[in-house]
């Protein structure tokens, strides 16, 4: 039987066989198979040609295409948006602390908020015969979902609870957290509340937080004003630039809700540059409850996410899925806390 893998095409996706790899490399299927299996019968130059063809076609190969249960790797693949943010590092640490004593190694991939990169990472995990996947959020490329289904890999999604997910979720409601923070800021008497959120495209957490903000405004009789909302990368500099834009176009703004502490501190730096006092002139709130937010002066009002508990719960469920258990709750909402501090 030929090995096969799924790769994307312009309109859909197709199955790629060893014959396709051989054709592109200009060799026979037998030679291509030997080359990919590192046979000493194949010349080094030929092996490099075949490997290059396989890479171009994103061919996964027989080691993964076969039943994962027949060739266990004792590996679990984790995909997070970035490794530069401590909130995801905390979750990963909790996952590994639970999985490694059970004999599992952890593979970690950062997709940098790019669905194509996530798809490539998932392909790599499959090629290493990962027993299970732990993914951030529920927005994935179509081909990535097809790969998961094709190879029947147990999958857990973390950091967002969504009815739209195809997989078991562990986390909290980003929508509800943003809704409650916005409602709290309104209750404090702030009249013109700006919002700096993450990039909305292909990011369900950013979308849900934005929706929570806008619907809280409407619930309290305040129309959503798109001029008070900005998108930002999860970086200090991008948060500062978004704050500068708000200050330039909305002179009477009296509060800003940032959808991450990193963005909030970027906004804070911009306020300092403009001699704007927090919270005397403009109040500020964040999201994530990073360590620096609690010790900085003024301390940052924020949403506390149970990131360690998310990791532990995700690891527990992953172990259950690997064992074949199916009586597992789909939506595992671990909640959140609103931490009121000096910036509001």
Query: What is the number of residues in the chain?
Result: 344
**Which token pair is 62?**
């027989």
DSSP 261-294: HHHHHHHHHHHHHTT--TTTT-EEE-SB--HHHH
Task: State residue 28 phi and psi, 5-degree precision.
Answer: -80, 160
Instruction: For residue 302, give the 3-state DSSP assignment.
Output: strand
Q: What is the pLDDT of residues 98-124, one digit of tens each?
A: 999 999 999 999 999 999 999 999 999
pLDDT of residue 163: 82
> What mean pLDDT do residues 305-334 have?
95
Tell whether omega for the bond before 335 is within 30 degrees of 0, i.e. cis. no
pLDDT of residue 6: 33
Q: What sign does the dihedral 207-8-75-1 (CA atoms) show?
A: positive
pLDDT above 70 as % of the chain = 92
pLDDT above 90 as % of the chain = 72
Instruction: For residue 315, give the 3-state DSSP assignment.
Output: helix
Tell whether omega for the bond before 294 is within 30 degrees of 0, i.e. cis. no
pLDDT of residue 69: 44
- Decide the pairing of beta strands 193-198 and 229-232: parallel
pLDDT of residue 165: 87
pTM > 0.95: yes or no = no
pLDDT of residue 55: 86
pLDDT of residue 1: 35
Q: What is the pLDDT of residues 238-254, one digit of tens each?
A: 999 999 999 999 889 99
Cα–Cα–Cα angle for 96, 99, 104, rounded to 5 degrees: 105
Going by pLDDT thresholds of 50, 70 and 90, the confidence category of residue 49 is very high
pLDDT of residue 41: 80
**Which token pair is 259?**
């959808």
- pLDDT above 90: residue 21: no
- Write out the H or E segment, with its range, that includes residue 195: strand 193-198
pLDDT of residue 270: 97
> Tokens 């620096």 appear where?
292
Strand partners of residue 41: none
> What mean pLDDT do residues 81-105 have?
94
- pLDDT above 90: residue 135: yes
> To the nearest whole number, what is the mean pLDDT of the chain?
89
pLDDT of residue 11: 34
pLDDT of residue 268: 97
pLDDT of residue 54: 87
Domains, the chain, in order of start with CATH, read: 4-65 (1.10.260.40), 75-172+308-335 (3.40.50.2300), 174-304 (3.40.50.2300)
Q: What is the pLDDT of residues 286-304, one digit of tens each?
A: 999 999 999 999 999 999 9
């Amino acid at each position: 039987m030929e090995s096969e893998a799924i790769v994307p095409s312009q309109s859909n996706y197709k199955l790629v066989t060893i014959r396709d790899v051989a054709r592109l490399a200009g060799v026979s299927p037998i030679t291509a198979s030997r080359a990919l299996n590192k046979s000493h019968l194949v010349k080094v130059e030929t092996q490099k040609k075949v490997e290059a063809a396989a890479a171009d076609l994103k061919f996964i190969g027989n080691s993964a295409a076969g039943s994962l249960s027949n060739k266990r790797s004792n590996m679990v693949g984790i995909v997070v948006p970035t490794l530069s943010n401590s909130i995801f590092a905390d979750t990963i640490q909790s996952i590994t602390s639970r999985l490694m004593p059970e004999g599992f190694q952890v593979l970690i991939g950062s997709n940098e908020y790019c669905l194509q990169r996530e798809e490539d990472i998932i392909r790599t995990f499959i090629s290493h015969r990962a027993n299970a996947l732990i993914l951030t959020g529920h927005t994935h490329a179509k081909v990535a979902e097809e790969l998961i289904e094709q190879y029947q890999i147990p999958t857990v999604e973390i950091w967002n609870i969504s009815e739209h997910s195809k997989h078991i979720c562990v986390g909290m409601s980003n929508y509800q957290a943003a809704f409650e923070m916005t409602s709290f800021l309104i209750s404090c008497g702030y009249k013109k509340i700006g919002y700096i959120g993450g990039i909305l495209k292909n990011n369900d957490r950013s979308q849900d937080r934005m929706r929570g903000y806008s619907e809280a405004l409407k619930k309290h009789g305040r129309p959503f004003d798109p001029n008070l909302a900005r998108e930002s990368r999860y970086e200090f500099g991008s948060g500062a630039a978004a704050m500068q834009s708000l200050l330039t176009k909305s002179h009477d703004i009296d509060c800003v809700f940032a959808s991450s502490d990193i963005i909030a501190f970027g906004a804070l730096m911009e306020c300092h540059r403009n001699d704007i006092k927090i919270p005397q002139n403009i109040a500020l709130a964040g999201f994530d409850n990073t360590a620096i937010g609690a010790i900085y002066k003024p301390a940052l009002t924020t949403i506390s996410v149970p990131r360690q508990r998310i990791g532990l719960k995700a690891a527990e469920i992953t172990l259950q899925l690997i064992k074949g258990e199916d009586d597992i709750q789909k939506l595992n909402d671990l909640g959140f806390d609103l931490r009121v501090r000096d910036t509001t």
